[in-house]
């Protein structure tokens, strides 16, 4: 079932290292985006969210450290290059870009937790669970700032959803 959208349950150690390195590149991207957006987002309406974004930056750094530790434990080498960060001067576009990334991140970690469990790597799974709790909180913060309901996570390999840019559903009324 999950094969249809690029999901893979049984992965080798090597593949897990590769996937975690993609996750790590996403964490670096999140750190950079939150560092920059929290400082450049302007306007009285965004004062509270700017503070939230600053807090997110620190949490993303903690995630990067945790993922790197797991990569090292599995015998891999952590990557040093972030995924590209979207640049914008428009506050709403910044928040949407953050939300889009968080949706992809949650989708990726959901899959990663299942894979870690299937490998019997329960400490990895536990680590990922603590991270995904915070990623969902990030989604909630961003959705609240955008005044929308939290949109669904984006499954890995679901490129249509990931390139559409818009939270699919349910702005209120
Ligand atoms: Fe993160
Ligand atoms: Fe996040």
Distance 21 CA to ligand 1 centre (A): 13
pLDDT at residue 79, as a whole number: 98
Whole-angstrom distance, CA of residue 126 vs CA of residue 13: 17
Distance 103 CA to ligand 1 centre (A): 11
Burial class (CB in 10 A: 0-12, 13-18, 19+), 30: buried
Q: Which residue has the higher pLDDT, 152 or 4?
A: 152
Which of 21-30, 42-51, 70-79, 139-148 is least confident? 42-51
CATH superfamily of 11-164: Ferritin, core subunit, four-helix bundle (1.20.1260.10)
Task: Tell me the per-residue pLDDT of 119-160, one tens digit each, with 9 for 90 and over.
Answer: 999 999 999 999 999 999 999 999 999 999 999 999 998 865
Q: Which ligand is nearest to the CA of 60?
A: 1
Contacts 24+ apart (CB under 8 A), 84-88: 84/29, 85/29, 85/32, 85/33, 85/36, 86/33
Residues in the 5 Å CB sphere of ion ligand 2: 102, 135, 138
Distance 134 CA to ligand 2 centre (A): 7
pTM of the complete model: 0.88
Tokens matching residue 142: 């961003």
- Across the range 79-84, mean pLDDT stands at 98
Burial class (CB in 10 A: 0-12, 13-18, 19+), 104: buried
């Amino acid at each position: 079932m999950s094969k249809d959208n690029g999901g893979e349950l049984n992965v080798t150690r090597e593949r897990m290292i590769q996937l975690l390195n993609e996750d790590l590149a996403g964490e670096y991207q999140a750190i950079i985006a939150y560092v920059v957006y929290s400082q450049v987002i302007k306007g009285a309406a965004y004062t509270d969210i700017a503070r939230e974004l600053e807090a997110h930056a620190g949490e993303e750094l903690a995630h990067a450290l945790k993922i790197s530790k797991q990569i090292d434990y599995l015998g891999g080498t952590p990557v040093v290059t972030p995924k590209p960060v979207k640049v914008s001067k428009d506050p709403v576009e910044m928040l949407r870009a953050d939300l889009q990334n968080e949706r992809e991140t949650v989708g990726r970690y959901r899959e990663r937790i299942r894979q870690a469990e299937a490998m019997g790597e329960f400490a990895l799974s536990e680590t990922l669970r603590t991270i995904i709790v915070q990623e969902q909180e990030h989604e909630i913060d961003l959705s609240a700032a955008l005044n929308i309901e939290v949109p669904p996570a984006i499954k890995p390999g679901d490129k249509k959803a990931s390139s559409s840019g818009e939270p699919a559903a349910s702005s209120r009324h």
